[in-house]
Every structure is written in structure tokens, then in C-alpha cells.
Amino acid sequence: MTGELGQLALCFALALSLVMAGAGLAGARLDATGARRTANGAAMGLLVFVGLAFGTLTYAFVTSDFSVALVANHSSTLKPLIYKISGVWGNHEGSMLLWVLVLAIYAALVAGLQRGGERLTSAALGVQGLLAAAFILFILFTSNPFLRLDPAPFEGAGLTPLLQDPGLAMHPPMLYAGYVGLSAAFSYAAAALLVGEEAARQQWARAARPFMLIAWIALTCGIALGSWWAYYELGWGGFWFWDPVENASLMPWLVGTALLHSALATERTGAFRTWTLLLAIAGFSLSLIGTFLVRSGVLSSVHSFASDPTRGFFIMVLIALAIGGALALFAWRAPGLQGGAPFETISRETALLLNNVFLVAACACVFVGTLYPLVLDAVNGTKISVGPPYYALTFAPIFFALLLLVPFGPRLGWKRGDLKSAWRSLYPALGLAAVAAVAVLAIISPRTVAATGAFAVAGWLIGASILDVRKRKGARASAFAAALAHAGLGVTLLGVAGTTAWRSEALTVLAPGQIMTVGPYTLRFDGVTREKGPNYIADRAHIALMDDGKVKATLLPEHRLYPTEGQDMNDTAIRTTGLRDLYLALGDDRGQGRFTIRAYVSPLAPLIWLGGLVMALGGCLSLFGRLRVRATEPQASAQALAAE
Amino acid sequence: MNAKKKRRLAFAAALIVAGAGAAVLIVSALKDNVLYFRSPTDVADKVVREGVAFRLGGLVEKGSLHHGAGAQVSFTVTDGKSAVPVSYNGVLPALFREGQGVVALGAVGNGGTFEATEVLAKHDEKYMPPEVVESLKRSGRWKEGEQ
């Protein structure tokens, strides 16, 4: 019964999303109070029914109901519970259902919070309804997760072992919360254009800001999780591979970051009004393109579940309609927008403008690097790949330039800033940058220009953030949001520079009892034992970390075989001091108890993800500040609006 | 009005300058930093010059895997028509098997051996790198064993 119940719920959800679309768009008119009420109700109903469909599928996975084809193909009774649950989105159909669930959650939030007034909310719900309807149709027609299998097999085919990992269990929901969160910004932007009333056009950026923030926080966490997973799971010690699938999540993040900054100017002074609308459209468009790249199977990767051409075609049409429709609306309505207040050349607005220019340029580099191989293949069948050297030449210098300018932004006043006093107030940060650079040159070898520069810039960013916090002592927590997010960039930069410049690597074949050294560590190989996990068999290496002839710790890298899935993979062992990782991977069996062991020492590696966490924390501070201001000072924000 | 126009102009100018800068960077970087995918037949036909990095894809020839000193390994990659000897100093991926698909990153050295810096194997048994499938199809060896 569960499969049919889920299918039925999804059909109801489709009907409700169409109602929400129709009523929401109708509610954009001035006197359509009834339609607005219907749209709000439909948004809640949509959440209930999509939630029911998703819950049904999850139940089928948890109870290993192999009469549902999807469960039989992607799960097994032997998996631990957490991977039965994460198996729901560890496949194409389930992940699309998760996408729609997140969309429904955002729609319900939009309806519940009613930000930016009734008409704007209603129009945003209308657009959100159109998106939901399109995606539910996509699921029902090309990727139905509830298809039955008769007879039901006794055991399922299992889940790719690469995905059986706690980090990766959370990675897709995080990324989707980010991707789809940008849909709320997109819907608000389209709504502002649709409503056409001057007030709505001014308020939409403020109304959509919490959604932009949630999306940005989720994207930041999702990308960090994905990179962390690649680091400890793939066994190469790298943290970012410029894989097209990684790029697909990085592009919305870059544009989303630009949007957060540009929207700030739009809601404060009304500057960049048109540009912010365009960014909101671009951000979600890139999310859709990312989904297309990842899910349609045009890229070869772990992520491409589907290689069904009808799905790719359907998503392409969906993207074309969403992006084309939004851009057409933009072209039609944007020329009527009033310009914002003027600003001087030296001002906060100019700083935000530069931020946007650099971020968009960086995104363009990633975009070209990701899509050029696909285009070339389609044009003349030449197969190429674009690797790290390309990004080192394009993305890196642009992003570096952006980081240099970051500390100036918060120091320049709106409309008119004072560059000299901003510069003077940054002297201590400059000092910290110099100290960092000198320390790197003096203490750590090998000396590299890139690492020295990176440390200087990181010192510059973190120093400026410390100054910001000091200056605003006693202010509300949300005042520190920007400082925290910018400091996070510096922390990540330290990690990236440390691992890239000073990583040491050792690769040897060892017999039991033999010793190897890597960086400052001495390791003794104590042989391999056969272990049995819940759904795998592992060769577990016992490697002792030696300190003055005594065993200080034992590390256990594994090589696992998953019999159900017929696959095997590595499980690395990482010992971290917080500032330095010792990273071990077990390689091939060379006979007579001898194994290849790969060891890395990665200085500062944990800072890469810590920085991401700090950035996300900055986003959270800003978000809670927003929601509290709204809850406690409605008059104040109304007055602020009136004053503008 | 004047200030507004000036601002629009500055905005457009900044975008154009940045766009042009990014375009120059992108084009120059793409020219020299693209890795081509080649089959063993391409290598035999001398399509690739010595020392130029590319990705070599095909099947690992059965019985060709040899372990050398330390972590050194050598094997042969074939597309059924031609074969290229590959040497690699590193850990082979867990899913590396003789007779199955592989993609190696590296360049042909002066002895005609492909010196790999990175070896990638498929992620699971059902998956074959699409480029490898393509090159096997071209040499007429795709799904030979199944027929």
C-alpha cells in the first residue's frame, strides 16, 4: 500500500501546486484577497502532501520494502539504519523528491512569514507553485520513485559504498537546502517584477533576505561537507578537485554571495536595483544548471545516477522555461524600474560593486571551465578535460584580488566613504599581514611565494575582522556577522595554503614490523587483519604511531569490500592535532603480508573546513539578527523604510 | 540626473573591464591547460607529442600488471587495436582490475612508455568511463565479450 499512497500524495501535491501557482499569481492583483488566502492554504497543503510522499518513501526504505523497485535497486536489509534513510536520496528519483520537499518547505515558509506584504508574498508563491508543479511533473513522468516490482526480490542491490558515509548522508540535503533556497530569492525577484508596484520593487530584497541567507548558509555547509568527504574518502589527500560536479555547487555559491552583497545595497539605498534582480535570477538558474549537469548523466561521476535521455531533455526544457521566462519578465519590466539614490565613487556601494564584479568574473571562469568540455564534445566530438592548472590561472587571481579588497567594504560609509580613514584604520591589519608573511618566510620551509602571499592575505582578512569586532564592542551579535564571515575566508585560505605548500607524502611497500617516516612522524606497520563490518568485509591495517620507541597511538586505515554491492573502497585513517593532519590510506596487497601504504602530513588542513564553518556561523548570526529585529521592532523597520 | 548617469556608466565600465579581463584570462588559460582524452590507437598513430600531458583511456590488458620496486607498478592499456605500456608510482585505485576500464593521467616519456601521475578506475562494476566506452566502440571492441 505504501507505494500507492506515496503516488497518490504526489498527485495531490501536483494539483495543489497548480492551485498555488494560479491563485498566487492572481493574488498579485490589488483586490484579490481571496486568491491570496487560497495560495497560502495551498502552500501549506503542498508541504503536507509532499511530506507524506517523502515520508512514505522513507518508510519503504527503512522497512526494506523491496516491492518498491527503487528500494530494491538502492537498498538492502544489511545496511545500518542511517544509510537506509540516506539511501532515500542516494539515487535519482528519491533525490528529486527531496528537491521538491525542500521547495515545498520554502514555499510554506514564504506563506507563513508573509514578508514584504501580501501581494508580493502571493506573487512569490505563484512562481514557487509553477516551479513545484514542473518538478512534480518531472518526477511523475520520468522518475517515479514509487514504481512496483513484481515479484519482490528477497534482497536489495544495496547502496554505492561511496555514499555509505555519515558526511555524505547529510551532503545532499544541505546542498538542496541551498540550491532550492535560491528559488525563494528567484520567486521574490520575479514577484517584484510581476507586482510592478514601486513599493514591492523596493521591498523584495529585504523580504527575500532571510531566504538568501538560509540558502547561502546551507550551500556553504554543503560544499564544505562535500569537500571534507572527498578528502577523507577518496584517499588522495586532496580537498578540491575542480570536478564538474563540485563546480556545479560552487557556481551558485559565488553568485549567491554576490547576491547577498548586492541585495544589501538595494535594501539600504536602492542602488543596483536591476542588477540584484538579475543576480537572483542567475543564482537559481545556476542551481538548475547544476542539477542538470549532475543528474542528467552528461558528466561522468559518482553523482550521475541517471543517464536516461528523456530525463536530461525534460530538465533542459524546464531550465529553458524557468530561465527564459524569468529573463523575458525581466526584459519586459526592468526598464520601468526607478534608479536608486546616487553615490560617490568612494563609497560602500562601490565596494559592493567591486565585490560583485569579482565574484561574477570568478563564477564565469568556473562556468567556462565546466561547460567548455561539454560544448567541445557536442560540436566535434573532441574529448578534453579542464583541470586544476586552468583554475589556478583564472579563478585564483580573481579571487585573490577580491580578498585584498574585502576589508575596505565594511569601513566605507554608504553613499560617501573616506578611503584615507578606512586605510588608516586598517594599519593594524596590515601589520598582522606583514607579521604573517615574515613568519612564514622565516620559520617554515620550503619557502614559496604563493604560500607567503596567502598567509599575508589571510592575516589581512582576519586582522580586519578583529578590528571590526573591537570597534563594535557591545553591539548586537548580528553586527559581527560580516566580520565573522570575512574572517572565515581567511581561515580557509590558511588551510588551503598550508596543505598546498607544505604537504609531505610518503608511499612505500611495507612488511609487518617495518618502519616508515613521513614529515615528523615515525610509523610502524603491524600487519593487516580481516574484520567484519555490518555489511562489508575489511582488510584493516594496524599502523602504530611511534614516539621515542613507544607506541603513541594506533591508526587503522581499511580497505573494505561490500559483497552486496560488489564494490570495494578505502577508508582512510586521519589523526589530527587540529593544526596538522596525519593521513593514512591502505593500498594494494603485495603478497606475503606486504602492503602499499600511502601517508600524508597535511599542515593546517582542518582549517579549510573550520573556515567554512566560521563563514556559515557568520551567516547564522545575520539571519537571527534579522528575524529578531523583525519580531521585536516592527515599527522601527517600518520607520526605516519610510525614511528611505 | 548627472550623478545617476555617471554611476550607470561606471557600473557598465567596471563590468566591461572585468568581463574583458576575465575573458582574456580564460582564453589564455584554456589554450595551454586542457587535457585531451586519447586512446591507445591515438598514441600509436603519434597524435600526441612526447611530454605533453593527456588522459589515456582503455582496458587494462589481462596479465600485464607487474609490481616493480617500492610502489612502482606497470601495466598495459589497450583498446583492442593498439596497446600502450604504462608505468606508475603510486597506489592503484581500489577498483583497478585487469580486463577492466581505466583512465590514466600523464604523458608519454622518451621510451614510448606512458608515465602516469594519476590513475582513475571506475567507481563500481556497472560503471565504465564514457570516454573508454567511446574509444572501445571506435575500435570495434565494445561489448565483444557479451556477444
Of A516, A514, A517, nearest in space to A526 by CA? A514
Of A243, A105, A254, nearest in space to A177 by CA? A105
Higher-scoring residue by pLDDT: B46, A442 = A442
pLDDT at A406 over 50: yes
Collect all residues of chain A within an 8 Å Cβ-Cβ radius of residue B34. 373, 384-386, 390
Note the Cα A31 to chain centre separation in Å: 40
Tens of pLDDT, residue by residue over A471-511, are 877 777 777 899 999 999 999 999 999 998 899 989 889 99
Tens of pLDDT, residue by residue over B83-134, are 999 999 888 877 788 888 888 889 998 888 999 988 877 544 444 556 666 6
Q: What is the mean pLDDT of residues A338-345?
A: 74
Q: Do B22 and A365 touch (CB under 8 A)?
A: yes
At residue A303, the pLDDT reads 46
| Peptide bond just before B40 cis, omega within 30 deg | no
Percent of chain A with pLDDT over 90: 52
Q: Do A364 and B22 touch (CB under 8 A)?
A: yes
Alpha-carbon distance of A326 to A322, in angstroms, equals 6
Cβ neighbours of A196 (radius 10 Å): 15
Collect all residues of chain A within an 8 Å Cβ-Cβ radius of residue B35. 384-387
Picking from B4, B6, B26, B36 by the largest number of A CB atoms within 10 A of its own CB, the best residue to mutate is: B26
Higher-scoring residue by pLDDT: A303, A228 = A228
pLDDT at A305 over 70: no
At residue A626, the pLDDT reads 77
pLDDT at B70 over 80: no
Q: What is the mean pLDDT of residues A305-314?
A: 64
Amino acid at A356: N
Q: Using the Cα atoms of residue A586, residue A589, residue A592 and residue A598 in order, give the sign of their dihedral.
A: negative
**Spans of all domains in chain A:** 1-152, 165-335+345-413, 504-605
Q: Which of A275, A300, A389 lies nearest to residue B33, judging by beta carbons?
A: A389
The strand order across the sheet containing A573-576 reads: A504-510, A594-603, A580-591, A573-576
**Spans of all domains in chain B:** 1-34, 37-146
- Residue of chain B with shortest Cα separation from A339: B4
Report how many Cβ contacts below 8 Å link chain A to chain B.
117
Picking from B1, B2, B7 by the largest number of A CB atoms within 10 A of its own CB, the best residue to mutate is: B7
Percent of chain A with pLDDT over 70: 94
Counting every residue, how long is chain A?
A: 644
At residue A635, the pLDDT reads 43
In angstroms, the separation between the Cα of residue A265 and the nearest Cα of chain B is: 14
Q: Are strands B34-38 and B54-60 parallel, antiparallel or unpaired?
A: parallel
Q: Which of A342, A384, A585 lies nearest to residue B91, judging by beta carbons?
A: A585
In angstroms, the separation between the Cα of residue A343 and the nearest Cα of chain B is: 7
Of A77, A92, A81, A67, nearest in space to A145 by CA? A92
* E strand or H helix at A21: helix A2-26
Higher-scoring residue by pLDDT: A201, B73 = B73
Alpha-carbon distance of B113 to B83, in angstroms, equals 11
Question: What CATH architecture applies to the domain B37-146?
Answer: Beta Barrel (2.40)
Query: By the 8 A CB rule, do B105 and B88 touch?
Result: no
Q: Which of B18, B95, B131 lies nearest to residue A568, judging by beta carbons?
A: B95
Whole-model pTM: value is: 0.90
Tens of pLDDT, residue by residue over B16-65, are 887 888 888 888 888 878 888 888 888 888 778 888 888 888 888 888 98
User: Scanning the structure block, which residue is given the C-alpha cell 538595494?
Assistant: A266
Collect all residues of chain A within an 8 Å Cβ-Cβ radius of residue B21. 361
Alpha-carbon distance of A73 to A67, in angstroms, equals 10
Collect all residues of chain A within an 8 Å Cβ-Cβ radius of residue B90. 507, 598
Cβ neighbours of A623 (radius 10 Å): 20
Residue A28's pLDDT band (cuts 50, 70, 90): confident
Q: Which of B10, B22, B28 lies nearest to residue A361, judging by beta carbons?
A: B22
Query: By the 8 A CB rule, do B37 and B74 touch?
Result: no
At residue B102, the pLDDT reads 85
Q: Is the ipTM of this complex over 0.85?
A: no
Residue A325's pLDDT band (cuts 50, 70, 90): very high
pLDDT at A632 over 70: no
User: Scanning the structure block, which residue is given the C-alpha cell 520537499?
Assistant: A101
Alpha-carbon distance of A465 to B110, in angstroms, equals 53
Q: Does domain A504-605 have CATH number 2.60.98?
A: yes
Q: Which of A372, A566, A568 lies nearest to residue B30, judging by beta carbons?
A: A372
